Amino acid sequence: MGDQSFNAFELAQKQFDAVAEKLGLDEATREFLRQPMREYYFSIPVKMDDGSTRVFRGSRVQHNDARGPNKGGIRFHPQETDNTVRALSMWMTWKCAVVDIPLGGGKGGVVCDPHHLSQREQENICRGWIRQVWKNLGPLTDVPAPDVMTSSQHMLWMLDEYETLRGEKYPGFITGKPLGMGGSLGRTEATGFGVIYVLREALKTLNLDITKCKASVQGFGNVAQYAIRLFQEYGGTVTCVACWDQADKVAYSYKKEEGIDLEFLLSITNRYGGIDKAKAQAAGYEVLPGNAWIEEEVDILIPAALENQVNAETVGQIKPSVKVLLEAANGPTTLEADAQLKEKNIFVIPDFLTNAGGVTCSYFEQVQCNINFYWSKVEVLHRLEEKMVAAFHAVDQLAKSKEVTMRDAAYMIAIQRVAEACRLRGWV
């Protein structure tokens, strides 16, 4: 997705290689973990509303299942590439391991643009995706979930197709389902809230008062919206949000120095996380270019949209006021930028720790489906908070004791757990 020349998988492998070296991992384990275990690519023929047939490219990549069934989202995006999906599947393995849930890593997608597809066409893509790959998925093998531009409705169509093919009910087959149809309370909030539980703990260790902190956010979708909500509840101020404008085909940043009004912006935002520019302007928001969010004079930057956003080109635009980069999106920072962030002494909280709340709650959803008993939202969010807080402090303590970055420490914990599972199984 995004810049076609950016290879997310190369980044994921380089990050892995560097930590494997630090850990002194043996050659076989390195070779095994730097590649996905299985990859599926397939064509999905769909009858369009105008009577024509279009063929969409679908994928599912299973990076590693030593610790449990593969787990990961399905993206609908016009610029989806195989390497993005590979990278995301690998990051899922580390993400599940770092929060210590018994799942492996997977990811999938369909190259398509839902903005230009009817509901019926999207349903057929979902059902077609399942028909191509269902034999390789299941509650005990690989459990999909929503991701960029897919929703609980897409998951339910997929579940329905899977159950039709199997002839039995498998509510634990897929997560992110609607409430009342096997979904978990708290799942919608989980990733964004998880991001802020981690931030709250980080600010404590950095001796920063959250009520005095300003943040600028890229993205105004599911993750960003709930992250902003909880950050504001804790007393923080968000001065800028950036999102994609479907009509103009560019991104814009929306700024309000005294702090954005979340409820108002939500009321003028479409279901893809795009803000109505004219209405925002009329309400006094400054409309700036898409990348202006990163130049904000704030304490915290929260990339919560796409990968490759904090890169060699943009990192120089970060103001000296910035103390924390909270990676809510997957893979937002390139290696070059990472090195510069370290020099600038910015505390980077890595993506697969920061945004692990989503998969943690998906795991809770699976648990509830399997026991056929559903928890209250308070219970779900309480368990989520416990997991995120414990994971943050484990990483923070290792980072301090080994004098490494938070990213390296998170990788060290995750890779060691997965490598150990492979070793115990006798795979390496």
> Can you tell me the distance from the alpha carbon of 194 to that of 359, in angstroms, rounded to the nearest whole number?
10
Q: Nearest-CB residue to ligand NAD?
A: 221
**Binding flag, residue 304, ligand NAD (CB under 6 A):** yes
**Binding flag, residue 137, ligand NAD (CB under 6 A):** no
> Can you tell me the distance from the alpha carbon of 220 to that of 201, in angstroms, rounded to the nearest whole number?
23
Site string (171-210) toward ligand NAD, x via CB under 6 A: --------------------x-------------------
DSSP β-ladder status, 237-245 and 324-326: unpaired
The least CB distance from residue 276 to ligand NAD, in Å, is 12
By CB under 6 A, which span of 49-57, 59-67, 112-120, 304-312 interacts with ligand NAD? 304-312
User: With CB under 6 A, what is the number of residues at the site for ligand NAD?
Assistant: 26
- Taking the least distance from each CB to ligand NAD, the nearer of 216 and 330 is 330
Tokens 């393995």 -> residue = 93
- 3-state per-residue secondary structure call for 280-304: HHHCCCEEEEHHHHHHCCCCEEEEC
The least CB distance from residue 38 to ligand NAD, in Å, is 21
User: Can you tell me whether residue 320 is helix, strand or coil?
Assistant: coil
**Binding flag, residue 419, ligand NAD (CB under 6 A):** no
By CB under 6 A, which span of 49-57, 117-125, 142-150, 316-324 interacts with ligand NAD? 142-150
The least CB distance from residue 330 to ligand NAD, in Å, is 4
By CB under 6 A, which span of 215-223, 278-286, 315-323, 401-409 interacts with ligand NAD? 215-223
∠ CA 66-373-107, nearest 5°, is 35
> Can you tell me the distance from the alpha carbon of 53 to that of 184, in angstroms, rounded to the nearest whole number?
36
Q: Is 135 a catalytic residue?
A: no
- Which of 19, 251, 326, 399 lies at the binding interface for ligand NAD (CB under 6 A)? 251
Helix axes 82-98, 357-371, angle to 10 degrees: 70
- Taking the least distance from each CB to ligand NAD, the nearer of 30 and 86 is 86
> Can you tell me the distance from the alpha carbon of 366 to that of 372, in angstroms, rounded to the nearest whole number?
9
| Binding to ligand NAD in span 343-382, by CB under 6 A | 355, 358
Residue 110 forms beta bridges with which residues? 58, 76
| Binding to ligand NAD in span 221-250, by CB under 6 A | 221-224, 242-244
**Binding flag, residue 329, ligand NAD (CB under 6 A):** yes
> Can you tell me the distance from the alpha carbon of 79 to that of 203, in angstroms, rounded to the nearest whole number?
36
Q: Which of 14, 47, 95, 107 is catalytic?
A: 107
By CB under 6 A, which span of 229-237, 276-284, 323-331, 380-388 interacts with ligand NAD? 323-331
Quote the DSSP letter at residue 104: -
Which sign does the torsion angle of CA 10, 13, 19, 21 carry? negative
Which sign does the torsion angle of CA 410, 94, 359, 4 carry? positive
- For residue 283 the two structure tokens come to 């309400």
Q: Is 131 exposed, middle or buried (0-12, 13-18, 19+ CB in 10 A)?
A: middle
By CB under 6 A, which span of 42-50, 212-220, 367-375, 406-414 interacts with ligand NAD? 212-220
Contact residues for ligand NAD, defined by CB under 6 A:
147-149, 191, 218-224, 242-244, 251, 273-274, 290, 304-306, 328-330, 355, 358
